Amino acid sequence: MPAELSENALIVMEKRYLKKDRKGNPVEAPEDLFRRVAMTVAAADRKFDPKADTAKTEEEFFKLMSGLVFMPNSPTLMNAGRHLGQLSACFVLPIEDSIESIFETIKHTAMIHKSGGGTGFSFSRIRPEKDAVFSTRGISSGPVSFMMVFDMATEAIKQGGTRRGANMGILRVDHPDIEKFILIKTDLRNLTNFNISVALTGEFMKALETESSYDLINPRTKKSVKRIAARSVFDLIVQSAWQSGEPGIIFLDNINKANLTPHLGDIEATNPCGEQPLLPYESCNLGSINLSRMVTGGELNRTRLKKTVRAAVHFLDNVIEINKYPLKEIEEMSRCTRKIGLGVMGFADMLILLGIPYDSERCVKTGEEVMTLISETAREASAELGKKRGNFPGFKGSAYDRPETPYMRNATTTTIAPTGTISIIANCSSGVEPLFAVSYVRKVLDGDELVEIHPFFKKMARKKKFFSADLIKTISETGSVQHTEDVPEDLKRLFVTSHDIAPKWHIRIQAAFQNHTDNAVSKTVNFPANATEKDVEDVYRMAYEYGCKGVTIYRYGSRERQVLNIGGDTQKKELTPRFRPVRTYGITERISTGCGKLYVTINSDDAGICEVFAQMGKTGGCASSQIEAAGRLISLALRAGVSVESIVKQIVGIRCPCPIWQNGEMVLSCPDAIGKVIKHFMNLGTDELSHMMGGCPDCGSPLEHEGGCLTCRACGFSRCA
């Protein structure tokens, strides 16, 4: 029998996955979707055996999905058995140092985004800004400027009504433009369709360790243009990530040490969330096992897990066979290496069922054991497929090409991806992340708000007889149970959330899974709002020491207003205004008032609107001093956490003796004018405003940070879809 889908799962599937008619009404039920995907993927067996019992395989695949045991990545769920037929989540495209290559890649990017995929690039081969361009006798604009072009192209595709495109932009730390690259997203209006990461080399890490300098290399000439202190660049990365969560970092040498097909080239880039390092034109075909379904009687059901892994490897290999690739080059490379990425979701839920706290040595050991079993079983299953169907074409010369491993169907078999919307469908926690919240407020389509509670907590609270509506409402204000007296200590220990956990445990868990994963692990290291830059630095160094392939961090409240993240502001007693950064960004609008022309400037920092300045066209006098005072107080209130809406409500409507009409509306006074300009600024666009303020652009519910991506568990929106 298919498992019962949660209300959230039904909403997400209807909105984003089910077939629809011309009017947008669903024409299939969730069970029909699972049947459609299972039948389509199982049919690939006939390519290798015309007499294959595909009905049996179809039923096995159907039970995996309808039982919420395993889910493939979203494009497979959406497109299998449909006209588009593009089943891969993401791709890496090459960019060479020529206008022809750059714009050819932009064209290919548009084709991929149109088909529903995401793209990753290394911009490291592009010559630096102001370098010579001999063909035109001009100078180069550098990689960052071309990233802007990619971003605008993505925006155009997105505005055309297709699925949101997502990109990863990577630049080597030894590129001469590295400092400009690091700082590019300190203005949140830049590269809104990109995650960015700095590729750190072993040479750089050695220079950092010895407090020495390293060479910046012009990729055109392959010669050093200058030496720079590793510490200064590292500090810039740390400061920017502390402020805004970006750039992330990848450890390039760690990635290439684990490259199982080095004879085919070095890996320079990853997919948008960083968990899938890929060669140029490779694609990733991912799927995740729901670990919360692998517990029986308080113990890990190893037999069931191994059986599920084998079926999932079979499923993902079939996906490669039936996939309709967006480019011929991608099809050739994907079939050459046949990479698959089997991962997990529901890890935090599994720990609760096993009675293991996330931030504990037992958790680290459990993560190692679970991923060891998955990795070993996945390779065994791939070897068996290789014996039946043939090795992947790039096998000769690969790390597998030795007497003890004569067969391997897939160059890689395991990846830990952010599971975003598929974990909503499976009604489990995301990837290997801890719980985001024990309880939170979900906004529904009619504007009402519903309080969601973790089902395991609800069940345990009722069993221990302390469950109440008031308790759940209290928990939903912060998402955490750690400061709630009614919750027993043993459950506080078990139900820790991402913001309850010390950063070192995030790295320990990431490393535990990375040790047994072919590709990489998508994981966000969460920091409290009061974390320091030194805390971020320590995590970066720890990640490198533990052998991670990359790190993404997020400091609570650094990009969005905290009140919208979980449902309550954990810092509401702290009214000290946040600091003003050296650089802010904004707009200036001229508006007519009864006192004259008023120029209102609104600036933002990484947490949203932070200051308002206003000045009359004529200076001096009482009016100017009052306007300056109003601006200062508004700015102070903004940085102290007072909502923009509350400020606007207070100042719009204030009257003076000299109102005036402008553009069809009455401007009642200078404060009223300031309020109207702020409202204009707030109406720049739903998506941009939501990005600034922290709410989901589709439904306004909390956004969850996972692996460098933003996901709404209420409606399924994903910035990296």
Average confidence (pLDDT) over 636-654: 82
Half-sphere exposure of 349 (CA within 13 A, CB side): 21
Q: Using 50, 70 and 90 to split pLDDT, how confident is the model at 160?
A: very low
Residue 592, SS3?
Answer: strand
**CA–CA gap between residue 330 and residue 455 (Å, rounded):** 42
User: Which one has a higher pLDDT value, 590 or 661?
Assistant: 590
Report the range of poorest mean pLDDT among 371-385, 598-612, 688-702: 688-702
Q: How confident is the model over 481-490, as a mean pLDDT? A: 93
Q: Worst-scoring range by mean pLDDT, 25-29, 45-49, 160-164, 464-468?
A: 160-164
Indicate if the pLDDT at residue 524 is higher than 50: yes
Average pLDDT over residues 645-672: 82
Q: Please, which pLDDT band fits residue 638 given cuts at 50, 70 and 90? A: confident
Q: Name the H helices within 390-516.
A: 420-425, 455-463, 469-476, 489-494, 503-514
Average pLDDT, rounded, for the chain? 89
Provide the β-strand partners of residue 196. 169
Read off the pLDDT band of 478 (50, 70, 90): confident
pLDDT exceeds 80 at position 525: yes
Amino acid residing at 156? A
Report the pLDDT value the prediction gives residue 685, as an integer from 0 to 100. 40
Amino acid sitting at position 32: D
Contact status, residue 336 vs residue 283, Cβ threshold 8 Å: no
Catalytic option among 167, 195, 271, 323: 271
What mean pLDDT comes out for the span 104-128?
94
Residue 706 has pLDDT above 80, yes or no: no
pLDDT in tens, 24-61: 899 999 999 999 999 999 999 999 999 999 999 999 99
Fold type of domain 94-270: Anaerobic Ribonucleotide-triphosphate Reductase Large Chain (3.20.70)
Where along the chain do its domains lie? 94-270, 437-490, 585-693
Residue 604 has a pLDDT of 82
Diameter of the chain measured on Cα atoms: 92
Range scoring the smallest mean pLDDT among 137-146, 177-186, 454-463, 689-698 = 689-698
Q: How confident is the model at residue 665 (pLDDT cuts 50, 70, 90)?
A: confident
**Predicted local distance difference test score (pLDDT) of residue 570:** 39
- For 60-94, write each residue's pLDDT tens digit: 999 999 999 999 999 999 999 999 999 998 899 99
Residue 537 structure tokens: 């630095």
Quote the pLDDT of residue 427: 95
- Assess whether pLDDT exceeds 50 at residue 489: yes
| Cα 8 versus chain centre, distance | 20
Residue 271 annotated among the catalytic residues of the structure? yes
pLDDT score for 623: 75
The residue from 275, 452, 611, 706 that is catalytic is 275
Contact 414, 374 (CB under 8 A): yes
Cis previous bond, 247, omega within 30: yes
Residue 48, pLDDT score: 95
- % of the chain surpassing 70 pLDDT: 90
Q: Decide if pLDDT at 614 tops 60.
A: yes
Strand 596-605's sheet: what is its strand order? 585-593, 596-605, 608-616
User: How confident is the model at residue 586, as a pLDDT?
Assistant: 80
Residues shown for the chain: 721
- The tens digit of pLDDT for each residue in 396-435 reads 999 999 999 999 999 999 999 999 899 999 999 999 999 9
Cβ atoms 703, 695 nearer than 8 A: yes
User: What value does the mean pLDDT take over residues 690-703?
Assistant: 60
Which of the residue ranges 127-131, 559-563, 662-666 would you say has the lowest mean pLDDT? Answer: 559-563
Q: What is the pLDDT of residues 242-286, one digit of tens each?
A: 988 999 999 999 999 999 999 999 999 999 999 999 999 999 899
Query: Tell me, what's the pLDDT at 559?
Result: 65
Between residues 393 and 477, the one the model is more confident about: 393
Mean pLDDT is lowest, of 23-27, 157-161, 555-559, for 157-161
Beta carbons of 599 and 670 less than 8 angstroms apart? no
- C-alpha 154/C-alpha 106 separation (Å) is 9
Give the pLDDT score at 621.
Answer: 66
Residue 646 · residue 667 · CB < 8 Å: no
Please answer whether residues 500 and 480 qualify as being in contact, where contact means their C-beta atoms are separated by less than 8 angstroms. yes
pTM for this prediction: 0.83
Catalytic hit among 58, 195, 273, 720: 273
Distance CA 683, CA 677 (A): 10
Residue 275: active-site member: yes
Q: Is 560 a residue of the active site? A: no
- Average the pLDDT over each of 142-151, 427-436, 712-721 and give the range with the smallest value: 712-721
